[in-house]
Amino acid sequence: MKAVSAEQNPDTPAMHRAEARICAQLPEGLPVPRLLGVLEVDCWVVLVQEDVDGRPPCLPWQGDDLHTVLGALTTLAATPCPVVDVPDAGAALDHDLRGADRLAADGSNVESLDTLCALSERARHVLARDGARTLVHTDLRADNILITERGAVFVDWPWACAGPVWLDTLLLLIEVERHGGHDVDALLSSLPTTGGIDPADLTAVLAGFVGYFLDAARRPSPPGLPRLRRFQREQGEALLGWVQHRISRSDHRTVGRR
């Protein structure tokens, strides 16, 4: 059971309602806790979900946990949309992927900002392309995952989208890279969800999220979430290093800003 109120944070009730709507549509057999009920009382929104006997993945990420989660992502990636009525990732993430442009407009001195802007533009085109869509979580981190005896279970679904099969894997590996201990580039080139994807497209989407994290980190802390901005800044700075590394070891070419 999890409950939120507008008095604690004005945005969380809408997030819980979105999660309830999405979870009510999810097909059986997915690595997701079943929604048992929704209750609204006064300013509170309460979700009652299946009790999952599990633990969060260990941080830094351990090999066994990562293997378990990546296997569950392969199962999730086989869920086509529009089986679930969720927004398209291209539209849902468009504002987030313009973070580098907002930093540039404000005269930010973020390193490699021109390159980030050009890559972020490419990222928006990549996510907006026509093609098969699958169910994607879009917010996968260790605190949204439980490891059980039967495998990984993904929780907290307000941001689910219809997107490319590789998107959740790529976003998960952002956290894996930040904590170290794994060759994330080798994983991207070998995993079934990402192995056949143009590496330059993956780099572009990673760059888009650098802009998102560093732009978001500048804002005041939202009510009830005092550590969020620090997390976003640290994530953005670590991800910038990964993007620069990928660019330096490849022949990626970026176009000038349009």
Highest mean pLDDT among 5-14, 118-127, 248-257: 118-127
Buried b (16+ CB within 10 A) or exposed e, 75-106: ebbebebeebebebbbebbeebbbbbbbbbee
pLDDT of 257 reads 34
Averaged pLDDT for residues 10-28:
93
pLDDT of 225 reads 85
Question: Which comes out higher in pLDDT, residue 103 or 78?
Answer: 103
The tens digit of pLDDT for each residue in 137-196 reads 999 999 999 999 999 999 999 999 999 999 999 999 999 999 999 999 999 999 999 999
User: Which of 19-28, 75-84, 217-226, 237-246 is the least confident region?
Assistant: 75-84
pTM: 0.92
pLDDT of 132 reads 75
pLDDT of 130 reads 60
pLDDT of 79 reads 86
In the predicted structure, residue 129 carries a pLDDT above the cut 80:
yes
Asked whether the beta carbons of 194 and 166 are under 8 A apart, the reply is: yes
Domain ranges of the chain: 53-248
The tens digit of pLDDT for each residue in 51-64 reads 999 999 999 999 99
In the predicted structure, residue 248 carries a pLDDT above the cut 70:
yes
DSSP 132-195: --EEE-S---GGGEEEETTEEEE---TT-EEE-TTHHHHHHHHHHHHH-SS-HHHHHHHSTTTT
The tens digit of pLDDT for each residue in 62-93 reads 999 999 999 999 988 888 887 788 999 999 99
pLDDT of 8 reads 87
CATH number of 53-248: 3.90.1200.10
φ, ψ for residue 195, nearest 5 deg: -60, -30
In the predicted structure, residue 33 carries a pLDDT above the cut 90:
yes
Mean pLDDT of the chain: 92
The tens digit of pLDDT for each residue in 191-231 reads 999 999 999 999 999 999 999 999 999 999 988 889 999 99
pLDDT of 255 reads 39
3-state secondary structure at position 125: helix
In the predicted structure, residue 252 carries a pLDDT above the cut 80:
no
